[in-house]
Each structure stands twice: as C-alpha cells, then as structure tokens.
Amino acid sequence: MCGIIGFTGRRGCAGFLLEGLERLEYRGYDSAGVAFARPQGLVLEKAVGRIANLRTVVEKSREDAFAGIGHTRWATHGCPSIENAHPHCDAARTVAVVHNGIIENYGLLKEQLQRQGVRFVSETDTEVIAQLLGFYYDTDMPTTLRRVLPMLEGSYALGVLDARAPGTLYCARRRSPLLIGQGEGEMYIASDVAALVEHTRTVYPMEEDTIAALTPQGMQVCTLEGRAVCLAPMHITWDAAAARKGGYAHFMLKEICEQPQVLQDTLEHYADLARGCIRREAMPFTPEQARALSEVTIAACGTAYHACMMGKALLEKLAGVRTTAEIASEYRYAPVCDGAPENAVFLAVSQSGETADTLAALRKAKAQGMRTIAMSNVIGASIAREAGTVVYTLAGPEIAVASTKAYLAQVLLFELIALDLAHLRGRLTDAQLKEALAELGRLPEQAAAILARREVVESFARRNRACHDVFFIGRLMDYTTSLEAALKLKEVSYLHSEAYAAGELKHGTIALIDEETLVVGIATQPEILEKTYANLQEVHARGAYLLLIGTPPRTLVAPDCEVWSMEGASWRTAPLLATIYAQLLAYYTALQHGCDIDKPRNLAKSVTVE
C-alpha cells in the first residue's frame, strides 16, 4: 500500500525520485526515504511525515548519483520513524531495499540472522530482506536474489541497489504490483504509472516471481530459476495533465466534477446510443454464454464492493440472473463447496486492478473451474491479466484516495452488462433496450446539472458543521447508495457515519437517534418510496434533522427537511445521481473540518496487502 520509485540513467536522479514520490503521495504514507548509489557508496536519506520534509534533507545531497530508489511507507511493522522508514540496508551498508507487501515469516528469518550475529536497527519486515541479501551475497545481485527470494513467505515488490554495481537497479515481484518504465537512455521502476507518465508512455508490468536487472541500456528479466523472460509492453493512453489538479482545490473535487465526461466516455465505448444498441464486441458475454449463464458471483473490497452490490441488484432485476455479491477478503477464506455450478461466472472488481484480497478471490474462483471476468480501471493490471476476460472502466487516473468517478463508472458498466444480458436472454425487446439506453444517455447532462448546484451542498455542510453523527438510510438499491455515502463521509471527514437498511432502524439502531443526529434518506426507487418516507418520519419524531436525496414526497416529512432532487431521473439513473450528491456532501463536510481530503489518515489508494 506504499509507493516505490526507482531510476538508473546518465543524469542525477535525486529530482526524479522526489518528483515520483510526490506523484505517489495519494497512495497514503507516513514516512519517506531515498537511497542513492554514488561513487563513494550508498547514501540514505529519510524523513517522517510529508515528502516536503524529505525534500529538505535530500536537497543537501550532491546530485552525482545516477541510480537510486525511493519509497513512501505506510506503517505495518513498527511505528512511523526514521529507523522504520525505507530504504533499509544490510549490516555492511552495501545493499539498499525498498519494499511493498508483507513478509509473513520475517520473525523466524530475523531470529535466524540474529543468531548469526546480524544486528537489526528497525522493527520492519523489510529490513530482513536487506539483511538476507547482504548475508547471503553470492557473486552478483541477480544470483543472490534467486537464492534469497524463495526464503520469503508473503508478498513483495522490491527495488534494490548494490554498492558493488552502482549503475544498476534491481527489482523483483511476487503478489504485489511493480512496473518497469523505459525512457531515452534511462530505466525506471514504480508501483504506479502516475509516477512515470511525465517521462515515458511505455511501461512493462512485471510478471509474478520474476527478477530484473536494469541499466541505462535496457533490462534483463528472468524467473527465480534463471530462465529469461520477455515482458509485454503496455502503452499509457492518458497524458500527464490528467494527473494534475487542473485548478481545483483538491483532486477529489476535480474527480467528482469529471464524472459527466466519465459517464459519457463509458456509454460511448459500450453502447451505440444513436442506434440504441449495445456494442457486441465490447461486452464480456456472447449470446450463447448469456443464455447458458446460471449464476454470477461478484467480489470486491470497499467502494468497489458497493458497486458489486449495485451489480447484483441490476443483474437480478434486469437479467434475471442469480447473483451473489461477496466481500473479497471474506470470500477468499470461506469454505469451498464441491465444484462450481455449470455455466457459473466469477467477476472481480477493482479500481486499481491490484487489490490483494480481490486478486486472491479471483484465483480461488479460477481454481474451482469458474469462468472469470475482471472489471478494472487500469489496463494491464494484475487482475486484468489473470482473468479470462476483462472489461475496463474509462474513468481515467483517480488520484484522490477516496474513490468517486471510478465507482460511478463501475455501476454504469454493471447497468450496461445487465441490459445486454437481459436483451440476449429475451427479457428485453429491441425497443425496450433502446429506451433504456436513451435513459442512460441523459446521465451526463443530469450529472452536470447536479454539479452546477454544488453550492447548495456546500451551504448545507457549512450549516451542519457541528454535527458528529450521521445516519444514511434507504431500501434496496438506495441502501447500497447509503452504504457508499456513509463510507465516503467517514473516509474524508472522519465523522461517525453509518448506513442502515431503512426498515432495520426499529430493530435497535433507532435508540441512537436524538436531536444532534443528522439522518440522510436516499429515496429513488419508486416501489419503496412511501416506506422510506415513513422511516424518515419515525426518526424525525425522535428529534433527528433530516436530509432527503431523491424523489420529494407530496407532503414533506418534516417542515425543515432539506430535499436534493434529480429531475427527470429514472430508477436506473437516480442511484448514480444520488451518489454524486453524497460525494459532494462528503467533500464539503471534510473541507469544513479542515481535513487532508485527498490523503485521508490511515488510508491508502491501492490496498495490495491483506
């Protein structure tokens, strides 16, 4: 869940490393450091806190290092400190290592080295790797890596410097993402393409259990057994400007405001709106597969899991396909029933395409013999490469830790897949499909209309700044929107916010409602509107202040109830539009509380460890 950057070339690399680390700040971190291979030997510089603190230290170093590695650390083993910050060295200070992932058997390996007289200076699992590479050094670093890496249990993406080969950058990967970039007379490594897009459009995702030696002339890649590997290149399609704020105060607000274009791009890629049909070549199911489909299991984590819950509702309601939405971190450890049902499909959803639990769930489904589909926002990500079929959301780079536009793109893609399946399975006529696509075609304009009213949301957040308990309630798809709304608010504002199926309030939770509570009702689904209104009246009778997002009732449930509506929205499109309101509420509430909106405490963008 940290950031890795590395460089080898014919120019000083300090500036490159610091710039790369700044582009990886959104992933979440509490300390940072760099290591340089200079003619005099390895040099390490570290700082606790933001990259600005590290930059102050590094600027004192000479710009005569042509190979280096850098890292932003999110603490797992040991508290944030200079000693625990990466890079880590061996006892002789000849090897420096940066590491993403977790080494599960580091305690045993550390004890073995300590019995051999090796002295450790940190609490981290990463230092074990550096000490092992120094202790077992044999001939050269690739040989040593092939000896040491099989000792490690767990996951790793590694950047390594060796003082004996100061112009070479080494890297290795197992179950944690790492990219190799190629420039003019220089090579790079990074954990995220955002760190490299200013310098190259050609990157090579490292394959599982591979080692690479990079020099300014190129790269040599091999397996742990020493067999040569040729990596497949990936072309970066978005430009560097997409990863900048573009005049917005925060990336989160920028990405919320980009959603009309994201919705438009997704619709145009997967549907021909003029003809009112789905683009057959873009869909993950053939007509034969659609008709034979018996059930779908969807798995993801966090916000993507809420998209899965929406996907379940849409696939069942529109296509009549039995669907289960699973939390990937639970699914991967759940008991395995005998054999997968015939014609069953497993669909893994991940914005980054690298979420560790979702990737493990995908592998489990493959082992059971299920057909696998991936939904990812990152071309060439691990989940995309390992699934049998992949569909991409077209959200572009999402920099803020709290996901916004990627979530809307996922839900819209689920709607398009559900409509396609419903049509192929005979549940929608050509005319009904055309009508449904016309509804979706109005989404970008409707989303833009909500964004044009964002000062209303900002005013509401300002007036309710003193509120510390927020409950979101809804039914069916509105309950899922409530879950996402509550998660977004707690992610960026740190306020206590919870979501409940509206009908469950009376089974205990209503005891928490009082005059200091804000209750947000989501009401977009016609068949249960009156039920939701009744639940809002129940909490109002107990003193709660109310906000309604959705279809306003004929008679307000309370005189002071604020209503944010979506004119012209259907049951299909209203949940997406309600989500935009919820995202704006989270953003402006966090702004009122002075929070670090793009980089919330304790969170990381891509969760690549358990």
Catalytic residues, by residue number, are: 2, 605
**Hunting for tokens 């279809």 — which residue is that?**
551
Contact 413, 270 (CB under 8 A): yes
What phi, psi does 300 have (nearest 5°)? -170, 180
CA distance 206 to 179: 6
Residue of 405, 416, 410, 417 whose CA lies nearest to 439 = 416
The per-residue DSSP string of 236-283 comes to --S-GGGGS-TT-S-HHHHHHHTHHHHHHHHHHHHEETTTTEE-GGGS
| 3-class state of residue 323 by DSSP | strand
Query: Torsion-angle region of residue 339: left (phi > 0), alpha (psi -120 to 50) or beta?
Result: left
Q: Which helix (H) or strand (E) holds 222?
A: strand 218-223
Contact 63, 14 (CB under 8 A): yes
As a whole number of angstroms, the longest Cα–Cα distance in the chain is 81
Residue of 382, 472, 464, 475 whose CA lies nearest to 101 = 382
Helices 141-148 and 126-135: crossing angle in degrees, nearest 10, is 120
Residue 341 per-residue DSSP state: P
ω into residue 87 within 30 of 0, thus cis? yes
